[in-house]
Homo-oligomer: A and B are copies of this chain.
Amino acid sequence: MSDSQDPRQNRLLAALPDDEYTRLVPQLELVSLSLGDVLYEPGIQMHHVYFPTDSIVSLMCVMENGAAAEIAVVGNEGIIGVSLFMGGETTPSRAVVQSAGYAYRLAGDRLKEEFDRVGGRRSGAVHDLLLRYTQALLTQMAQTAVCNRHHTLDQQLCRWLLLSLDRLPVQELLMTQELIANMLGVRREGVTEAAGNLQKAGLIEYRRGHITVLDRVGLEARSCECYAVVRDEFRRLLPEGGEPQPD
């Protein structure tokens, strides 16, 4: 996994001009993230932002009674901890590692410094890039909201699989149905049924915590439009678009 050891595996970092990038690199710290690790708790002061390379992190909204739902997913296209540069310092949501891997982390005040830097000639590449990412994040949340309202579990599962897949270098997810249910905020049995449908349709293969995607195009067809909306908006707002999809 020497690939994950290159900060520029993260597409935000990769999109920075060389001078900004070289200024930041020495401050980046490679960290290994395990499934279930919690990067942020609601209301707790954050100290770092994270740039995933081959890990995936879910932003979850947790309610008083413990019920929860994923509101966005962040992989190598993004950053965890936008509130550190947005000015709020904390958020009411939780960040949980959904797929183990690596990320580079950076002290919040270091990022802020770079974010606020106007620079002699160049006008804040870090600043502009992070704001564009944040707008993409807004879109993802908005789409999640409307998706929760209108779409069936089958469709949402497809969307979720695709969004995760786009953020991984492989076509396989290590993920139990229980965990997926937690992310989507539904019953585990519901996921069992939906996943069974997809398997019967020959779109995925399931074996005890391993999901392999067999027919990506079929998944997209079965997914609600929310996946495409989010993907396209990321492509529009961020360099190199939503994903370096092979096909």
Q: Which positions in A face B, CB cutoff 8 Å?
A: 59, 61, 63-64, 67-69, 71-72, 82-83, 85-88, 91-93, 116, 118, 123, 128, 131-132, 134-139, 141-146, 148-150, 185, 225, 229, 233, 236-237
Contact = CB atoms under 8 A, between A and B. Distances in A.
Q: How many copies does the complex hold?
A: 2
Contacts of A87: 128, 131-132, 135, 237
Given A61-B145, A86-B131, A92-B143, 20 more contacts: A61-B143, A63-B150, A64-B225, A67-B146, A69-B146, A69-B149, A71-B145, A82-B135, A86-B132, A91-B138, A92-B139, A92-B142, A93-B139, A116-B123, A118-B118, A138-B138, A144-B145, A145-B148, A146-B185, A149-B185
B148 A88 contact: no
Given A61-B143, A71-B145, A145-B69, A83 B225 contact: no
A68 B86 CA distance: 29
A134 B69 CA distance: 21
Contacts of A139: 91-93
A233 B191 CA distance: 33
Nearest to A68: B146
Contact of A86 (B83, B118, B134, B150): B134
A145 B150 contact: no
A236 B118 CA distance: 28
A56 B150 CA distance: 24
Nearest to A118: B118
Nearest to A229: B92
Contacts of A71: 141-142, 145-146
| Residue from A68, A134, A137, A146 with most neighbouring chain B CB atoms (10 Å) | A146
A61 B116 contact: no
A197 B167 CA distance: 45
A139 B219 CA distance: 30
A160 to B, nearest CB: 13
Contact of A141 (B68, B118, B142): B142
A189 to B, nearest CB: 17
A148 B226 CA distance: 15
A84 to B, nearest CB: 10
